[in-house]
Amino acid sequence: MSFTSEINRRRTFGIIAHPDAGKTTLTEKLLLFGGAIQEAGAVKSNKIKKGATSDFMEIERQRGISVATSVLAFEYEGIKINILDTPGHKDFAEDTFRTLTAVDSVIVVVDVAKGVEEQTEKLVEVCRMRNIPMIVFINKLDREGKDAFDLLDEVEQKLGLTVVPMSFPIGMGYDFKGIYNLWEKNINLFSGSSRKNIEETVEISDLESKKIDELIGEKAAKTLREEIELVEGIYPEFDRDAYLEGKQQPVFFGSALNNFGVRELLDCFIEIAPKPRPKQSEERLVKPDEKNFTGFVFKIHANMDPNHRDRLAFVKIVSGIFERNKPYLHVRNNKKMKFSSPNAFFAEKKEIVDISYPGDIVGLHDTGNFKIGDTLTEGENINYRGVPSFSPEHFRYINNADPLKSKQLYKGIDQLMDEGVAQLFTLELNGRKVIGTVGALQYEVIQYRLEHEYGAKCTYENLNVHKACWVEANDVKSEEFKEFLRVKQRYIAKDKQDQLVFLADSPFSLQMTQQKYPNIKFHYTSEF
């Protein structure tokens, strides 16, 4: 198959939503339809010990939530699909933001009963800033929930989207009979006492047909006709170009748990979703069909296999072909590197690949050379941007609880921080280590992983910090800068990249510092 047709048959997308909207279940079912797994794992049920395929960390299985983005690849109808299943919990939002730099499109999952929730709003905002094409999947239709039109209004108003329904529910909750698919013009019927079987898919060319009355009953048929007439009257027609530019969002209804509406979503997705797109680097726009390979690291994961203590850097291929054992330039370190066993992913199952194309995600074994945001090329000096560190919201001192294991503790902290789980600051005054996170749940994850993966124990101590600000001074030799360092020495730290950070203890103190030292800039992200 030619290089161009390999690119054209790839689709790389992320699944985003508020916790519990059913992201991981939807991922499972997409894999099921793709023939990648034989039986979907129950994400919540503890009775079934088989966990969800995309939740492979021990702590995820115990809690029933995703705490790290996982990468899954499978083939469907000749299309190679790469899914990035992201954590929905707001405490792990940073991992999700970084993942959004590596996807070409997104599926947003909304719970029919809860509607649009806070975390969904934040994530969709990031997608809108970057004009990422989005498809909305309204999930859990077999439960009692909001009216379909109310939900569509809510998605439009709260998320600022222009929606186009591609399917529409027949009834809701207990009256749920099936789905009318506007995209393919057919009806999927829901049947059986367990309500888990799709009895049949019936082609419907004309909504006035008496066949509908026979299938779902006269009352439901009358309601359906009225609703579809409303849909066609109110909402615009689907326009693929508008969708690709991020100006229009198709909406599907379904129930991932019961396999309902998932195949329709997948069939439409492979037809309309974008193939790998060009990416802006600091120097120029890089197109996927360029001959030379380029790619960037958007995630690092330590200990994917607890027995081997390995670290993997996840690289999104932007252009050219990535080949095993070929030397590539690590731009930041300016050194050539070869990779003898690049991996393709299927959650924690990995296979060695000889060749990968734009849109693919490969895992490279890393001995500490990579940081998030690093670029690999065939020799050209370019840097992909847009993988920032955000200012944390929670701060704690980390203390060693077992003095005999201090080496393991520091190694563990070092590796977990490279992964981007949290950020490490070292106080200039006394060298104490401070961990900053986006959410409080991170601390539990760090403690758990240090103990179970590195054999090290730690305790935390609260620290009153309002914000961490990266410091930029035009003149580091100026009297103003020296005075700032002297007066604020208790609050000055360095991050892992040795950048200077000011830990402001209150909004007032930050404001006063900014006024007192006008020539020093304070930034809320590390990319300034």
Q: Does 403 belong to an annotated binding site?
A: no
How many residues can be counted in the chain? 528
Q: Does 342 belong to an annotated binding site?
A: no
Helix (H) or strand (E) holding 412: helix 406-418
Give dist(CA 140, CA 44) in Å, integer: 15
Give dist(CA 355, CA 362) in Å, integer: 10
Q: Does 141 belong to an annotated binding site?
A: yes
Give dist(CA 351, CA 232) in Å, integer: 47
Strands (E), 50-196: 70-76, 79-85, 105-111, 134-139, 163-165, 167-170, 178-181, 186-191
- DSSP bridge pairs for 11: 81
Beta-carbon contacts of 294 under 8 Å, excluding residues fewer than 6 positions away, are 281, 286, 317, 318, 319, 320, 375, 376, 377, 378, 380, 382, 384
Residue 68 has what DSSP assignment? S
Give dist(CA 4, CA 103) in Å, integer: 19
Give dist(CA 392, CA 497) in Å, integer: 16
CB atoms closer than 10 angstroms to residue 457: 15
Among the listed residues 102, 120, 101, the one whose alpha carbon sits nearest the alpha carbon of residue 111? 120
Q: Does 140 belong to an annotated binding site?
A: yes
Q: Does 87 belong to an annotated binding site?
A: yes
456 vs 109, 347, 368, 409, 449, CA distance in Å?
38, 26, 20, 5, 9
Q: Edge-to-edge, what's the strand order for the sheet holding 167-170?
A: 167-170, 178-181, 186-191, 197-203
Q: Tokens standing for 254? A: 């379904």
Q: Does 142 belong to an annotated binding site?
A: yes
Give dist(CA 220, CA 213) in Å, integer: 8
Q: Tokens standing for 212? A: 């509908």
Q: Does 455 belong to an annotated binding site?
A: no
Conformational region of residue 160, where left means phi above 0, alpha means psi within -120 to 50, and beta covers everything else: left
* Binding site listing: 85-89, 139-142
Binding residues for GTP: 85-89, 139-142
